[in-house]
Structure 1
Amino acid sequence: MIKYVSRIFINNLLDQIDIVYLIKNKIKLKKKGKNFFGICPFHLEKNPSFVVNSEKQLYHCFGCGVHGNIIDFIMYYDNLSFLESIELLSNMFSIPIIDNNSNTLKKVSKKNNIYYKLIFSLSTFYTNALFNISGKKAYKYLLNRGFNLYIIKYFAIGFSPLYWTNKILNNTKTIKILYEKLGILRINEKNNNFYDIFYNRIIFPIKNIKGFVVGFGGRVLKNKPPKYLNSSENDIFHKSSELYGLYETKKENNIIKKILIVEGYIDVISLFQFNIKYAVAILGTSITNKHMKKLFSITNKIIYCYDGDKSGIDAQWKSLKMSLPYLINGKEVKFMILPNKEDPDSLIRKEGQMFFEKRINNSLSFSKFFFKQLFLKNLFTSCEEKTYFIHKALSYIKLIPNYLFRINLIQQLGEKIGIINFLDIYNPIKYKKKTIINNNFKKTTIRILLSLLIQYPKLIKFVPKLKFFKSSNIDGLFFFIKFVNFYKNKNTTTVKILEQYRGTKLKKILEILVTWNHMIPDNKIEKFFINLIKKLKINILENRIEYLISLDRREGLNYKKKQELWSLNKILIQKK
């Protein structure tokens, strides 16, 4: 994932991507006048209150108050971080992330390119070794496991022969990178020679979502521990974010309707060979938040398909708990329970594609698996145990963002524990309508001017140079002058202004101002704005005069301040 992105790139992203086009691909929108309306994806509603403005490149819901630009929408809709959203948008619309101001980023990119090239060369070596004399046993093992030549080459499966490092490696720089940076090589303490950590293993190259080889998985030919070994963590490989087979799944499917998550490399390869080309494997670890975000950014349905034993069921329960925060509207999680002592590889070879796909289609829904496992793991014989069980069940349910789904689960829970009208008795997560406009947020001259400037940035040319007095008690005057000076000679837009204040306390205030409807026809906006500026100038003068009069009463004015008071009164009379 990217670690830094410049303000220049963010503004470029906002300029190039149309918010209507982006959101139309997620929810249904209907055009009414200048705006597009739809059912809000962030709360439960019957009548459309979600509006997208193509001119300002913003969305706003008058029901729950959510508001933002394309980055905000992706963040909340796909449950991603700020940088993850930017990376996803840049990939979706093929906008390369370039930062001309960051030498550090250039160095990191150059270094990573060297690693990618080296890892790819090593992968090619492993692949060639499989078809040489040294890889004869490994190749025979793969054929005996039922893999055909096409699938072996498709996944670029290879072999790491014994002692190959002594024969091939003669470049000190390459050895240093493989040893220190990528962790592929280690030193034999007895003879100080380097050796490959994957030696005498079948090699499975691991590709990232862009198709670059970033690491390897290695399997022993005989079942000696450890049976599987993965590349160590480094600058280009992170087990917690990579999924074996994800690149191939994207390559084979224009639209990914569902993704099957399995436990091992062999499972993925076998499923692909049987034409089930939407399987990915976690790399010797439990599913992580990074995995979930990555998967739900490309599909709406995930099916967990782990081994049919106790550890497999336990792993599915862990995956269920990890999935809870990602069950937003439209996202689905299911569970495929295999027969005891079976895994996807063994079962598909016994049953074939048709029967296996039938099992996939009959996978347990989230609610069925959730309640089945919940009642298996928690038996209660007393009122105290039952109460504890209810709190535990609700602690899981409350993590689900989808309001309607939560309500249905709470209702089901009540039915299963035998409490009638449980939803009415206990609903701590009852929906409360939010509103973005606070009635106490008074419409002052400064706030109306700011609101107009944010909504119509071109009006900034009508703002003259304003004098700021340190004694001024006009709320927001200093910020207004600072705001005008910053954007005075810049070609900016509403969406860029709001993005500039992301992460600050001012963002929420500006979001309120951008929603204000001033009920002024477009052809009269300029005149209204100019008149408000005149009013502000008078307010500034009156405020300064009041201060000087007050100062005169308290301690008297010197000659300079008396001259100022006389001058300001004269100007004020002329303006009025």
Structure 2
Amino acid sequence: MAGRIPDAFLDELLARTDIVELINARVPLKRQGREYAACCPFHNERSPSFTVSPTKQFYHCFGCGAHGTALRFLMEYDRLEFLDAVDELAKRAGLEVPRETRQSDQARGEFDALLGISAAAAGFFQHQLALADAARRYLDRRGVDAEVRARYQIGYAPAGWDALREALGTDPQRLQALERAGLLSRNDAGRVYDKFRDRVMFPIHDRRGRPIAFGGRVLGKDDGPKYLNSPETPLFHKGRELYGLWQVKQAHAKIPRLIVVEGYMDVVALAQYGVDTAVATLGTATTGDHAELLFRSAPDVLFCFDGDRAGRGAAWKALEAVLPRMRDGRQAFFLFLPEGEDPDTIVRKDGAGGFEQRLQTATPLSEFLFAELSQDINLGTLDGKARLAERARPLLAQIPDGAFGDLMRQRLGEITGLAAAPSAGPAALAPAPVPRRAGGAPAPRRSLVRGAIALLLHRPRLAESVQPPFLFAALRQPGVPLLVELLGLIRERPDISTGIILEHFAGRPEEAPLQKLAVQDLPGDEKLLRTEFADALVQLDRQTVAQRIAELQAAQRAAGLDAGQKDELRALLSWRAQR
């Protein structure tokens, strides 16, 4: 497995990357003062709210909240995995990714062998389809033309027990690769045979378009399960992959939405009728990894399920997966189909226009959540409203900080009559009310802790002016542990930029409020800001001493102090008097 890439290498990589040049090559930027702006590439908008800061080395969209470093931009815009994005930046910067971070030669060789055998199997199945009249007639009956068959690389697994094995298992190593790739099965007697037999084959591609697994649809009615999927392998984890996503990416430079359906043929039938943004989960419930992959690919996700009990249960699991990932600018909808119908049958009966009309009636996530939670509750009673609040609050607490979370809590308050619960973000970093000067201009006002954190974000080198241990680390105030962590991080990585600091906190509760502080303007020259930072830390030290004096005096009143505590109290009182 790939090892962890050293922080020092990532710091150097991002320091050598011109984020403006990188993004401008993909999204044309216009200079606005010290920064650059454009319409956001991650959501639709008419006026630019997407900014890129060359000094802070990060981008931020004030509309949808997208933000990050050059590395995050490549992952989001080019839809690359982390290691692939690192490789891309390293090539641009002329750097070699440290050898120890890569897979061992043996593991890399095995991985490449599995990729090779899966690609060979996909080619074999495609070739066999041209020779199989029954399989082609099945696809003809389903209305799948040659262009769509080629786009999805649909094939056919012959009916024999060892057709694939005989064609590709030409030596012990390839036989082992076929088995490791999930293409062969082994019975109790040890006999090895083809896993897929007499089935129409649907290759599953990874995000680079490489076949990594397969789904097989049986032709006859009494020949085992209707659909058979590849097992979990070193290449394939069904909870992380989506069928058809590669084809959607090839059809759209910028994907407007994704439609999540249940089966391979649903995806293929919709594509046949021109609905080319459909993907399918692979015989499993929607996972958190699925949800993140969906939203990284498109801002709007529409789940399409049967309207029966099982379909609504699958929809609820999808809601639970996407809820913690509902950043501002993302939307999720749920469409429930009539009993006995699926996207395949509906698009064939009503055409793309009829299916699109149904999509327009899909239920927003907010409505679906409150409707499901209220099903067995009498909202006409106080007890019923209290029960709804009890059920909803743990779910709403999972929503990231932002307008959507605030509106969801407001909606709960409207339904129950209770005041909306405050956001669960770190209190010390929440934006404070901003008073105005006489002329109407806003006068910044921050708590000491929040002010020190903001200064460090904008001017990381301020950490050089303070030496550990930090007296204020013992202060019991919100945000102090974060301030101490920031100082330690910057002292360990003295060349760190604002963008890399934000990347360090990615996925943590502190990420959103830190991002809000990072995009604010911080007026003042370097000398003035350094003085402000030093003054803030002195004030925090004084508060820490006052806190300890109060503790010792309380202990003195309650039970008296020992000799050591008396000496400490005298020293602290003297320290305070001198300052």
Is TM > 0.5 for Structure 1 vs Structure 2? yes
Written as runs of structure 1 = structure 2, the 5 A alignment for 1:425-440 is: 426-429=420-423, 434=429, 439=448
Native 8 Å contact 2:273 2:351 kept in 1: yes
Native 8 Å contact 1:9 1:99 kept in 2: no
Shift of 1:408: 2.8
2: CA distance, partners of 1:27 / 1:310: 48
- Other structure's SS at 1:347 match: helix
1: CA distance, partners of 2:30 / 2:202: 45
Which residue in 2 is equivalent to 1:278? 277
The yes-or-no answer on 1:197 pairing with 2:195 is yes
Shift of 1:57: 2.0
Shift of 1:28: 11
Written as runs of structure 1 = structure 2, the 5 A alignment for 1:169-248 is: 169-179=169-179, 181-190=180-189, 192-224=190-222, 225-248=224-247
Which residue in 1 is equivalent to 2:9? 8
2: CA distance, partners of 1:145 / 1:105: 44
- The structure whose Rg is larger is 1
Native 8 Å contact 1:160 1:200 kept in 2: yes
Q: In 2 relative to 1, CA 398–411 (structure 1 residues): closer, same or farther, beyond 3 Å?
A: same
Shift of 1:366: 2.0
TM-score by length of 2: 0.67
Native 8 Å contact 2:28 2:38 kept in 1: yes
Which residue in 2 is equivalent to 1:152? 149
2: CA distance, partners of 1:22 / 1:50: 11
Written as runs of structure 1 = structure 2, the 5 A alignment for 1:372-387 is: 372-379=371-378, 383-387=382-386
2: CA distance, partners of 1:483 / 1:366: 39
- Other structure's SS at 2:215 match: strand
Native 8 Å contact 1:56 1:494 kept in 2: yes
Q: Is 228-237 or 309-318 further displaced after alignment?
A: 309-318
1: CA distance, partners of 2:423 / 2:204: 42
Which residue in 2 is equivalent to 1:336? 335
Which residue in 1 is equivalent to 2:54? 54
2: CA distance, partners of 1:207 / 1:473: 52
2: CA distance, partners of 1:237 / 1:332: 28
Written as runs of structure 1 = structure 2, the 5 A alignment for 1:281-320 is: 281-320=280-319
Q: Deviations over 1:408-437 (max 9, x none)?
A: 3334334445x3xx33xx524378572697
1: CA distance, partners of 2:184 / 2:371: 47
2: CA distance, partners of 1:337 / 1:485: 54
Shift of 1:213: 0.4
Q: Deviations over 1:313-340 (max 9, x none)?
A: 2211221121111111100111122222
Q: In 2 relative to 1, CA 475–390 (structure 1 residues): closer, same or farther, beyond 3 Å?
A: closer
Which residue in 1 is equivalent to 2:576? none
Shift of 1:247: 0.2
Which residue in 1 is equivalent to 2:32? 31
- Other structure's SS at 1:306 match: strand
- Structure 2 unaligned blocks of 5 or more: 41-47, 432-445, 473-487, 535-579
Shift of 1:257: 0.6
2: CA distance, partners of 1:452 / 1:158: 56
- AA aligned to 1:340 is E
- AA aligned to 1:280 is V
Q: In 2 relative to 1, CA 388–152 (structure 1 residues): closer, same or farther, beyond 3 Å?
A: same
- AA aligned to 1:251 is Q
2: CA distance, partners of 1:485 / 1:390: 45
What's the % identity of the aligned pairs? 25
Native 8 Å contact 1:261 1:280 kept in 2: yes
- Structure 1 unaligned blocks of 5 or more: 41-47, 477-481, 533-576
Q: Deviations over 1:291-329 (max 9, x none)?
A: 111121121000111234332222112211211111111
Number of matched residues? 475
Q: In 2 relative to 1, CA 376–28 (structure 1 residues): closer, same or farther, beyond 3 Å?
A: farther
